[in-house]
Amino acid sequence: MLNLETLLLELSNAQGPSGFESEVRQIVRKELKPYVTSMETDGVGSLIGLKTGPPNSPKIMLSAHMDEVGLLVRYVTPDGFIKFQTLGGWLDQAIIGQRWQIMTSKGGVLGITGIKTPHVMSADERGKIFKGEGLFIDVGAKDKSDAEDRLGIKPGDPIAPCAKAEKLNGSDFILGKAWDDRAGLAVMIGVMDSIKDKDLPFSVYAVATVQEEIGLRGAHTSSYAVHPDIGLNLESGVAGDYPSISQYEAQEKLGAGPAIFLHDSSMLPNLNLRDFVIETAKEIDLPLQFNVLSGYGQDGAEMQKAFEGTPAINITVPTRYLHSHNSLINLKDVESAIKLVETCILKLDPAVVEGLKNFD
């Protein structure tokens, strides 16, 4: 029996900046193993699990990305401070004053992004934003050779946020880093668990992609490896339910069920698939939210554009404070996202898939 809460905590705590997803891949591989007939990796590291259907039957691809936003060592200063490159979309303000783990060949090194003390600042300087180029990580090294030789820090080493996942004050909220997109991975694993005993008239591909945060790179290659008939991407959604964000900017709320994106800057959902998901949610009385975003990119766009084009949709778990050390999801939304995707999948057969692929 899958323990969803335990799985979510384990996934959030795993370190996997874009391009360095190994720890996450090991968890996903272990979790998917009982549910799939085969598993392989593509040439950039995306993990492709297959629950095989009859020969020449349709291929349904679920995708969720393993990477999280992180940093990468640029160089070590003569004084032993670490200068870095960002991996993925960080606000400079979210980087400072945080704990990080530099993933060296000798193991994890704890560091902090120091911030200048306000004691020495003018009123003018206190109101300013600290720019990325001036930021650094302090690992307590004596100098450059101490950082490099003793601690093993090298240019190109990945750096992951340090933040331990936990249930928040007895609520259904779970606090943690990297819900983008470990929440989606948990949904994917949960769906594969829920359909494990079903003999389906199609193949289901559970694809854990790499390098989403730096340009949907793993979804690109894995979509070509699978060549799906239908693509369901599972992501962290954008909640707009806290002070400082407006409903205009994002419409999802935590605890109000999964959402579908009706617009983001990378894709519009297939309209048949959109209506199919909406109908399915109605049939099982499951609240479904909608989000129309001006920005955001997600892996569904790569499935949609692969080969001759694939009907695709992005299904999300509402998330607050994305791309920071401390983001929030609601366990109930993860459960209902699993229920929604499971129910959608179980309604499919080759004729339904053909219908979804049809344009009038």
What is the total count of residues that contact Co ion (CB under 5 A)? 2
CA distance 59 to 72: 37
Angle at which helices 179-194 and 4-13 pack, to 10 degrees?
A: 150
Smallest separation, CB 249 to Co ion (Å)? 17
Pick the stretch among 12-20, 89-97, 117-125, 173-181 that binds Co ion (CB under 5 A): 173-181
Regarding 181 and contact with Co ion (CB under 5 A), the answer is yes
Judged by CB, which is closer to Co ion: 157, or 180?
180
User: Is the Cβ–Cβ distance between 17 and 101 less than 8 Å?
Assistant: no
Instruction: Compare residues 89 and 255 and give the one whose CB is closer to Co ion.
Output: 89
Q: Which of residues 302-321 bind Co ion (CB under 5 A)?
A: none
Rounded to a whole number of angstroms, the minimum distance from the CB of residue 281 to Co ion is: 22
Q: How far is the CB of 314 from Co ion (least distance, A)?
A: 10
212: annotated active-site residue: yes
3-state secondary structure (DSSP) of residue 47: strand
* Cβ at position 300, least distance to Co ion in Å: 11
Q: How many Cβ atoms sit within 10 Å of the Cβ of residue 217?
A: 22
Phi, psi of 174 (to 5 degrees): -120, 125
**Looking at 109-117, 138-146, 180-188, 253-261, which segment touches Co ion (CB under 5 A)?**
180-188
Q: Find the shortest distance in angstroms from Cβ 296 to Co ion.
A: 8
Distance CA 173, CA 317 (A): 12
Binding piece for Co ion, criterion CB under 5 A, among 97-105, 176-184, 279-287, 300-308: 176-184
Name residue, tokens 């960080």.
90
What value does the CA radius of gyration of the chain take, rounded to a whole number of Å?
21
Q: How far apart are CA 83 and CA 72, in angstroms?
A: 9
Task: Determine if 252 is a binding residue for Co ion (CB under 5 A).
Answer: no
**Tokens 């949960």 identify what position?**
190
User: Which residues from 103-132 bind Co ion, rule CB under 5 A?
Assistant: none
Of 212, 213, 302, 342, the active-site residue reads 212
Rounded to the nearest angstrom, the gap between the alpha carbon of residue 247 and the centroid of all alpha carbons in its chain is 23
Using CB under 5 A as the binding rule, whether residue 180 contacts Co ion is answered as: yes
What's the chain's length in residues? 360
Q: Binding of Co ion at residue 299 (CB under 5 A)? A: no
List the catalytic residues: 212
- Contact footprint for Co ion (CB under 5 A): 180-181
